[in-house]
């Protein structure tokens, strides 16, 4: 079974071009699945039944002494990895048929993305004083980049001329070109000229735009810490369900574009979504905003 898992992960790497983080998640989910099968005495993928797959799903939701119970969304992701393995094994002739087809993943609750309002974003960016921190946060909000895209950004990906743009390398190996606004460009230029050369001198010549104190590429965790520190200084939540995260700035970017009249298809391209239905969740946020404006502005709204 471990050979089948390795072959499947190789397929995802080569044929599907999944990101390193996604592959790591799939590997963890499948390792736990194999542990479940081993505990049930199942040592051959061809011997797995739909009951075993359903039992694994139930254990994910209930938890055990070594693992906390997973939410519906996390369990659905884990089951997706399992179903992908069985589908791949059936297609490659490793097993006779795909038993996981009979198992439906739990439906996660539909949650709207969290977004800051414009004033909150302004407060957040105003307290990011160090040039590198300011450049990072301005870049995240000004381009809608994922945190992985920001920390993986190379100097050659930036074109800060008369019509500044950035090349972002997103999920599934998809590349997109995104405009860079004046605030983000000015913050990036200040950092690149005033700070980055000294940081780079301490390292080994990495092409990454955002560097740590040792001259190496800034990590995702360090970028999160920068945002956490700025959010706390700005009086924004850093704990609980509404805590500000790097993805909050991406959500805010999309929501503010749509509030400003941008077409959803344009926002789809800017965010790098493969399907417009992924982007359309943001339109629900702006409908709430429209209701709010109507309720406070129209004489017969109430």
Question: Are domains 2-102 and 118-296 of this chain identical in fold?
Answer: no
Q: What single DSSP character describes residue 173?
A: G
User: Over 70: is that where the pLDDT of 112 sits?
Assistant: no
Alpha-carbon torsion (92, 96, 102, 106), positive or negative: negative
pLDDT at site 207: 95
Predicted confidence band of residue 275 (pLDDT cuts 50, 70, 90): confident
What pLDDT score does 129 carry? Answer: 85
Task: Please count the CA atoms within 13 angstroms of the CA of 76 that sit on its side-chain side.
Answer: 10
Rounded mean pLDDT of 193-201?
96
Q: Are the C-beta atoms of 194 and 128 separated by less than 8 Å?
A: no
Tell me the pLDDT tens digit for each residue of 69-82: 887 778 888 888 89
Q: Is pLDDT above 90 for 199?
A: yes
Looking at residue 16, its pLDDT comes to 78
- Whether 177 shows a pLDDT value over 70: the answer reads yes
Least confident of 46-55, 71-80, 139-148, 197-206: 71-80
Q: With a cut of 80, say whether residue 166 has pLDDT above it.
A: yes
CA distance 157 to 152: 10
Give the fold, CATH level 3, of 2-102. DNA polymerase; domain 1 (1.10.150)
Highest mean pLDDT among 45-49, 89-93, 171-175, 209-213: 209-213
Instruction: Please give the pLDDT value at position 218.
Output: 96
Classify domain 118-296 at the CATH class level: mainly alpha
Domain definitions of the chain by residue range: 2-102, 118-296
* 60 close to 79: Cβ distance less than 8 angstroms: yes
pLDDT digits (tens, 9 = 90+) for 127-136: 988 999 999 9
Give the contacts of 69 (CB within 8 A, at least 6 positions apart).
60, 61, 62, 63
* Unique residue bearing structure tokens 């941008």: 262
Catalytic (active-site) positions: 146, 171, 247, 250, 273, 282
pLDDT at site 169: 92
């Amino acid at each position: 079974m471990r050979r089948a898992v390795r072959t499947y992960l190789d397929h995802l790497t080569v044929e599907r071009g999944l990101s390193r983080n996604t592959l790591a998640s799939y590997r963890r989910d499948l390792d736990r699945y194999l542990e479940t099968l081993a505990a049930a005495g199942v040592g051959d993928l061809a011997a797995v039944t739909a009951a075993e797959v359903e039992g694994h799903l139930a254990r994910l939701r209930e938890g055990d002494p070594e693992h906390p119970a997973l939410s519906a969304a996390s369990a659905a992701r884990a089951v997706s990895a399992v179903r992908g393995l069985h589908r791949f094994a059936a297609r490659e002739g490793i097993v006779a048929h795909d038993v996981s087809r009979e198992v439906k993943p739990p439906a996660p609750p539909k949650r709207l993305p969290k977004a800051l309002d414009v004033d909150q974003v302004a407060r957040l960016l105003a307290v990011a004083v160090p040039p590198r921190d300011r450049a990072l946060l301005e870049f995240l909000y000004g381009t809608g980049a994922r945190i992985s895209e920001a920390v993986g950004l190379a100097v050659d990906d930036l074109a800060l001329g008369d019509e500044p743009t950035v090349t972002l390398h997103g999920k599934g190996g998809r590349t997109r070109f995104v405009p860079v606004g004046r605030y983000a460009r000015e913050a990036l230029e200040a950092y690149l000229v005033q700070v980055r050369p000294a940081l780079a001198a301490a390292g080994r010549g990495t092409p990454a735009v955002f560097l740590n104190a040792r001259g190496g590429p800034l990590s995702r965790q360090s970028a999160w810490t920068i945002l956490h520190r700025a959010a706390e200084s700005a009086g924004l939540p850093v704990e609980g369900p509404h805590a500000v995260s790097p993805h909050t700035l991406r959500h805010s970017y999309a929501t503010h574009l749509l509030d400003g009249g941008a077409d959803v298809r344009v926002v789809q391209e800017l965010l790098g979504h493969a399907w417009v239905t992924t982007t359309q969740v943001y339109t629900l946020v702006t409908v709430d905003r429209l209701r709010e404006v109507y309720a406070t502005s129209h004489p017969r709204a109430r």
